[in-house]
Chain A
Amino acid sequence: MAPLLEVEDLRIHFQTDDGLVKAVDGVSFSLDRGRTLGIVGESGSGKSVTSLGIMGLNRGSNAKTTGKIRLDGEQLVGADQSRVQHLRGAKMAMIFQDPLSSLHPYYKVGDQIIEAHRAHHPGVTKKDARHRTIDMLRRVGIPEPAVRVDDYPHQFSGGMRQRVMIAMALVNNPELLIADEPTTALDVTVQAQILDLISDLQSEFGSAVIMITHDLGVVAELSDDILVMYAGRPAEYGSAADIFGRPEHPYTWGLLSSMPRLDRERTTRLVPIPGTPPSLIRVPAGCPFHPRCRYTELVGGRRCATEVPPLREAVTPGHAAACHLTAEERARQWAKLSAGRVPDDATAPGADEAAEEPGAREPV
């Protein structure tokens, strides 16, 4: 059976006064029913724009979208707006980062969910939609749903609001659920509950899930596959086991080494990625990560600065990375890193200077 969602060479560019922002520049992946894809990256790496692009929500912001997004075989890029609107909320649904600002402050949560249901089922009576809404609220773990259905968003706690958002997203049994940093705005204790809830509901509804996050812990817990994005481009793509077990891209190494781990000695230092993410208007030539990369010298010549590395499978099928390093070199470097050895230059002054090249700066 064909995958539920296929994204091929997706590019989303915004024309701004400062120049062309290449927010997403050549992203491809596919997602089967019942599976979870984690999209990981720093702020401004194009994760959210990708997800909004799939939902067709970049509209009105002078976005130019090219490439292919096929949902159940249906091409969405360039499709009729009313057709995409028809799919939105029905076949594909989305939950957002901040549940308070994402719910309309003036309407009861029940009415907002009822509206979402009836928008796609005009024949359903208000009464039936209300029953369904209360049932959904119960399933996402809202206590006393028959009472809470008539409350306003400000009367809920942060975690409960996100549960409401999830109920709203799932009310029409969508086949694809996109969760854009669903736990970022929540307390740590609540985060785990929400992730468990999403995971439980996924197995109950059989939806495919795209989990967008900058938190590797979140994707580790939930994802089958992981796409690591950098500067609007895919850096590495593979199964969760591969990405965590034998990552192949220096950027992924950086993300993993900068994450505290309980199975390491407390004295082990965290290694930050030097520098800041590049401006998407002036993405560095060649590999977009090269100004911040510690391994450019291991690649012959100035290839990293001039030649864009293609995303290609190196060792394991289905596990691809966009890096000029040879497979052997990657294996050697990762072995050193995972043994807990801090790279020699991690504290050297040169590391930061490398990131201070003009192309690497955010526009002020």
Chain B
Amino acid sequence: MVTFIIRRLIGTVFILLLVAAITFAIFFLLPRLAGETAYGLATQYVGRNPTPAAVHQMEQTLGFNEPLYVQFGRYIKAIVAGEHYQGQWCGPPCLGYSFKNQQPVWPQMISDVPVTLSIAIGAAVLWLIGGVTIGVISALKRGTIFDRLSMSVALAGVSLPVFFTGLIALELFSYKWPIFPNVQYVAITQNPYLWAKNLVLPWIVLAFLYAALYARLTRAGMLETLNEDYIRTARAKGLRERTVIIKHALRAALTPIVTIFGLDLGLLLGGAILTEVTFSMHGLGLFTVEAINNQDFPEIMGVTLLAAFFIIIANLIVDILYSVLDPRVRY
């Protein structure tokens, strides 16, 4: 098990290198292949109507004249060891400087992580509890009104985008009936009550989308497990129905849910883009959107790497959890 984790962590480094290389190639190699010159590339970074001297200056600063592998090597080296840049020290992990404000990318990006983390974790707890509960009840009451109603609502949940349900929620609960007025992110260290209160709407809106999916998955899983022979055995033992359902059926039905949960959460930690935009909360999602709008390549590179890191770690945790959940899985 320990060897497995160590092996996977080493693998993680290689995957991140690969992701970095691909992202780097997309932004710096592809334009070259398309015939763009170093001068032309540099032009994009110096604002409107630049003087040739300024462009050359930028070309030098960014090292566009050097071979690409040197540029890439310098990029990776900065991440590991940090670097000096125009008299400033950028400590590791140094992901370069934002074109927008000439500030290091990492501190700006990392300051947005708590926002995304707050939204994602809170919503995840909600959708996991809500989705699984509804799914189990639906499976047990298969074919009843509850089942049909909750599955229809679930279908709606899957189909409606967050910016739609989010705006409706804001209109109703923030403006018409101001239960949650003035929704904005407040740090938990600053005011835990306001933090939670302002996050209620984003949590519910985001959880609605995922809970729907999870309810359907849980329902299908439960219906399948309830037909298993070992459920019949559990009943034959004279166990209470509640024990049969929760300890024997749900336990087995949860395994695939855990897999997809890890992936969903990992993906979301890289930025809950639609939710953050809808509720104007500046997390990694908004950070990404702004980086793309500004063509701020160092920022895009940084956020891509961070998102990849989250997904890989989430996958690792899923794999470890799997072997805990299912004793037949051993690494």
Contacts and interface: CB of A to CB of B under 8 A. Distances in A.
B248 interface: yes
B240 A105 contact: no
A96 B237 contact: no
A137 interface: no
B230 A102 contact: yes
A6 interface: no
B238 A90 contact: yes
Interface string A51-85: 00001010000000000000000000000000001
B238 A87 contact: yes
Interface in A88-125: 88-90, 93-94, 96, 98, 101-106, 108, 115-116, 119-120
A43 B245 CA distance: 30
B147 to A, nearest CB: 14
B240 A104 contact: no
Given A152-B327, A154-B328, A105 B238 contact: no
A88 B236 contact: yes
B290 interface: no
Nearest to A90: B238
Contact of A120 (B238, B241, B252): B238
Among B232, B252, B325: residue with most chain A CB under 10 A? B232
Given A85-B240, A96-B229, A98-B229, A105 B235 contact: no
A296 to B, nearest CB: 39
Given A96-B232, A105-B230, A115 B326 contact: no
Given A85-B238, A116-B237, A106 B251 contact: yes
A115 B237 contact: yes
B228 interface: yes
**Chain B binding surface, main DSSP class:** helix
Given A105-B252, A106-B252, A89 B327 contact: no
B313 interface: no
Contacts of B243: 119
B209 to A, nearest CB: 30
Contacts, number: 71
Contact of A104 (B230, B236, B238, B241): B230
B196 interface: no
Given A98-B229, A103-B230, A106-B252, A89 B238 contact: yes
B106 to A, nearest CB: 43
B238 A96 contact: no
B: contact size bracket: 20 to 34
Nearest to A93: B236
A164 B236 CA distance: 15
Nearest to A169: B236
A108 B328 CA distance: 11
A231 interface: no
A243 to B, nearest CB: 28
Nearest to B327: A152
Contacts of A106: 251-252, 325-327
A39 interface: no
A101 B236 contact: no
A96 B237 CA distance: 12
B236 A57 contact: yes
Contact of A105 (B236, B239, B241, B326): B326
A87 B235 CA distance: 11
Given A90-B238, A102-B230, A103-B233, 6 more contacts: A89-B239, A102-B233, A105-B252, A106-B251, A119-B237, A119-B239
Q: Ordered nearest first, which 8 A-B pairs have the shortest CB separation?
A: A89-B238, A88-B238, A101-B229, A89-B237, A116-B237, A104-B230, A102-B229, A152-B327
16 contacts: A55-B236, A57-B232, A57-B235, A85-B240, A88-B236, A88-B238, A89-B236, A94-B236, A96-B232, A101-B229, A103-B230, A105-B327, A106-B327, A116-B237, A119-B239, A119-B243
